């Protein structure tokens, strides 16, 4: 049973905050790779906000078509009916050779492929998609398709659950917990990729205007599809003997994902969006830390969340040695935090959330600090949930040609000292470069010493560009305008525009050198995936990670449950006693 589910659903809280005293963490603290790579989901994460919307707006879900054989191969269509319109997941499943099952972009076949259709597809649409969706990047899509995705089975868990259910038994919980999902997605494309609908088509739709909601709706439907699929296969195999998954066990099944380097350039290419995401999270933390007298409800939720998080991270096991050490330390620190809070009656003091944050920041690891941020936000939906609506961007960066070079220099001094201090004459500082491979445009991370392609480097060397601009500006008159300067030196137009944006959106920039030898793309991936709402980060190298999505989240039939929003830290279910 979820320990949070017994809490009162009316989370009214006293807005007893210190006026105009929001304590915001500085970008130089927040936007560092080491901290970014320790991020956790929060109640503002996109999966969380999407589930709340589904429940609040009473979305209806329906399986429209299930035309599959006894092995589960065929086509299925699942619909989400929102108050305004319907979205349909069209799923194709097929048998593939084991030696062709890869999580990489360069894969050519998948166990399942998906399109999210805008509306209810006609038979002609399904026929069209049957020729394109299974080909993924090699197919061609239309503005009626919003998302393109694919997934591969976790063979051992899928077969175990199908077999167990067909024999009338529930699956082994430990095995289920060790994997967490029946299938893992290996790419989820939206925003106009391969001819799909542009993001702008959705801008005025309330249900999916927040970042990545449409992609995460597709993932939510994929999760439901995988559970429905395994139950259907079990039914076909076992007949009357077969059973369905128990309520809490089905809820514990998430959908996996393998994420590689594609996400990293995204963060660099969307500075306005990244600022808005981080700003919402930091403003939320600031609001919570400003509370003088917390309600009983909030302190109770905090303590129960802390206990559940403690259990959650005990069940978070990975093979990666470095992450294992971080998790082990986190377990100890979370226990210490709980002990400290209770023995010192911290929650009965004035401004307890601020006290807790400061204590954790001074004493514990980044992992624990960022977990604590998540825990502090958890009880304060009424105070912070409105900020989720700001986590989008409709505008891009703008080049201010009238700005004088003096002001530009001031911006570099104020916001980019982290970059201007780097010595780019050292080999270590320019060890890496980012590029697109001709293999399906797969993004890759090369080393100058060993890899070809530095001439085609992606323009992600922000720190180096800033350093070059900073040096160049030293030789120019302060009163010249950036427009004239950029006309003479167009190679700086890109970085000037970026710097001008940072002056008004200070959380826009990752404040580390992404070319450095020690750079771990993994940190960028975790940062972004945490905003999505992912959990159980399972790094497979510095370049890619597996994660769980929607583990513990309510399935369509569970969206009206009282505890539909309490799935931040999923823990193993207990089998029903018969």
Partner 1 sequence: MNNEFIRISLNEILFYFTRAGFGVNAPIGLSEDFARSNVWLAENGFDPSSCSYFALDCLDNRKSSIIANFSDRNTIVCSDKKYLSAFQASVVAADWITSNSNDKLKIVNVDSPFLVLAQLGVNLAENWQVEWSDDKGDRYLINLKKNENWEIVSNSVNLIEHSKGANILIKKLDFTGVDNNEVIKKFNTKHCRENILQTGVEVKDMWVLVYEYFSRCLVKSNARSRETGAGAGLVDND
Residues that bind partner 1 (CB under 8 A): 98-106, 140, 142-143, 152, 154-156, 179, 191-201, 258, 260-261, 399, 401-402, 435-439, 441-446, 450-453, 456, 459, 481, 483, 486-488, 490-497, 540-544
| Cα separation, 434 vs 464, whole angstroms | 14
Least Å from the CB of residue 313 to partner 1: 22
Between 103 and 215, CB nearer to partner 1: 103
Least Å from the CB of residue 436 to partner 1: 5
Between 281 and 432, CB nearer to partner 1: 432
Contact yes or no for 245/234 (Cβ under 8 A): no
Least Å from the CB of residue 258 to partner 1: 6
Nearest to 30 by CA among 370, 272, 415: 370
Between 301 and 403, CB nearer to partner 1: 403
Least Å from the CB of residue 443 to partner 1: 7
Structure tokens at 59: 């979305």
Least Å from the CB of residue 400 to partner 1: 8
| Cα separation, 263 vs 488, whole angstroms | 34
| Cα separation, 52 vs 56, whole angstroms | 6
Continuous H helices in 167-246: 173-179, 213-238
| Cα separation, 552 vs 554, whole angstroms | 6
Between 110 and 569, CB nearer to partner 1: 110
Read out DSSP for 292-325?
SS--HHHHHHHHHHHHHHHHHHHS---S-HHHHH
| 179 sits in which H/E element | helix 173-179
| Cα separation, 321 vs 258, whole angstroms | 19
Nearest to 246 by CA among 155, 314, 178, 161: 161
Contact yes or no for 499/465 (Cβ under 8 A): no
Least Å from the CB of residue 552 to partner 1: 21
Between 100 and 427, CB nearer to partner 1: 100
Least Å from the CB of residue 316 to partner 1: 17
Least Å from the CB of residue 446 to partner 1: 6
Between 197 and 547, CB nearer to partner 1: 197
Between 229 and 368, CB nearer to partner 1: 229
Between 237 and 540, CB nearer to partner 1: 540
Burial class, 94, CB count within 10 angstroms (exposed 0-12 / middle 13-18 / buried 19+):
middle
Round the CA-based radius of gyration of the chain to a whole number and report it.
25
């Amino acid at each position: 049973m979820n320990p949070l589910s017994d809490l009162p659903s009316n989370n009214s809280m006293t807005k007893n905050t210190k006026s105009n005293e929001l304590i915001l963490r500085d970008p130089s603290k927040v936007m560092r790779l080491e901290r970014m790579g320790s991020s956790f989901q929060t109640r503002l994460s996109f999966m969380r906000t999407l589930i709340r919307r589904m429940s609040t707006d009473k979305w209806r879900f329906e399986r429209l078509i299930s035309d599959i054989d006894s092995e589960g191969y065929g086509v299925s269509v699942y619909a989400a009916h929102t108050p305004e319109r319907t979205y349909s997941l069209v799923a194709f499943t097929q048998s593939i050779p084991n030696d062709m099952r890869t999580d990489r972009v360069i894969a050519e076949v998948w166990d399942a492929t998906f399109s999210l259709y805008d509306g209810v597809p006609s038979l002609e649409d399904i026929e069209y998609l049957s020729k394109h969706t299974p080909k993924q990047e090699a197919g061609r899509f239309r503005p009626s398709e919003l998302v393109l995705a694919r997934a591969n089975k976790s063979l051992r868990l899928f077969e175990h659950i199908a077999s167990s259910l067909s024999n009338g038994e529930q699956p082994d919980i430990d095995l289920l917990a060790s994997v967490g999902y029946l299938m893992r997605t290996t790419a989820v494309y939206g925003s106009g990729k391969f001819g799909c609908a542009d993001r702008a088509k959705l801008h005025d739709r309330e249900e999916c205007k927040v970042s990545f909601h449409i992609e995460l709706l597709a993932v939510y439907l994929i999760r439901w599809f995988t559970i429905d699929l395994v139950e259907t296969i079990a039914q076909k195999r076992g007949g009357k003997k077969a059973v369905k998954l128990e309520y809490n066990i089905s809820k514990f099944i998430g959908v996996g994902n393998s994420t590689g380097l594609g996400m990293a350039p995204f963060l660099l290419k969307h500075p306005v969006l990244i600022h808005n995401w981080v700003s919402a999270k930091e403003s939320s933390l600031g609001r919570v830390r400003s509370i003088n007298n917390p309600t009983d409800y909030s302190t109770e939720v905090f303590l129960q969340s802390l206990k559940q998080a403690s259990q959650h991270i005990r069940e978070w096991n990975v093979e990666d040695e470095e992450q294992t050490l971080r998790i082990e330390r986190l377990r100890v620190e979370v226990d210490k935090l709980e002990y400290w809070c209770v023995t010192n009656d911290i929650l009965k003091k004035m401004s307890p959330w601020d006290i807790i944050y400061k204590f954790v920041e001074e004493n514990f690891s980044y992992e624990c600090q960022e977990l604590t941020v998540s825990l502090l936000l958890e009880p304060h939906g009424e105070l912070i949930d409105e900020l989720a609506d700001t986590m989008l961007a409709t505008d891009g960066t703008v080049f201010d040609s009238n700005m004088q070079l003096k002001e530009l220099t001031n911006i570099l001094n104020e916001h980019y000292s982290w970059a201007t201090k780097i010595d780019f004459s050292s080999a270590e500082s320019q060890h890496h470069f980012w590029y697109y491979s001709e293999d399906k445009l797969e993004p890759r991370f090369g080393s100058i010493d060993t890899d070809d392609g530095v001439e085609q480097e992606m323009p992600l060397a922000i720190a180096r560009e800033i350093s070059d601009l900073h040096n160049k500006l030293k030789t120019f008159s302060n009163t010249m305008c950036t427009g004239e300067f950029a006309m003479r030196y167009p190679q700086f137009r890109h970085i000037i525009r970026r710097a001008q944006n940072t002056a008004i959106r200070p959380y826009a920039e990752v404040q580390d050198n992404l070319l450095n030898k020690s750079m771990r793309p993994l940190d960028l991936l975790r940062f972004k995936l945490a905003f999505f709402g992912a959990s159980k980060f399972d790094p497979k190298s510095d370049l890619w990670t597996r994660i769980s999505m929607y583990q513990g989240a309510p399935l369509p039939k569970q969206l009206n449950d009282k505890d539909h929003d309490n799935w931040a830290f999923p823990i193993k279910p207990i089998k029903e006693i018969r």
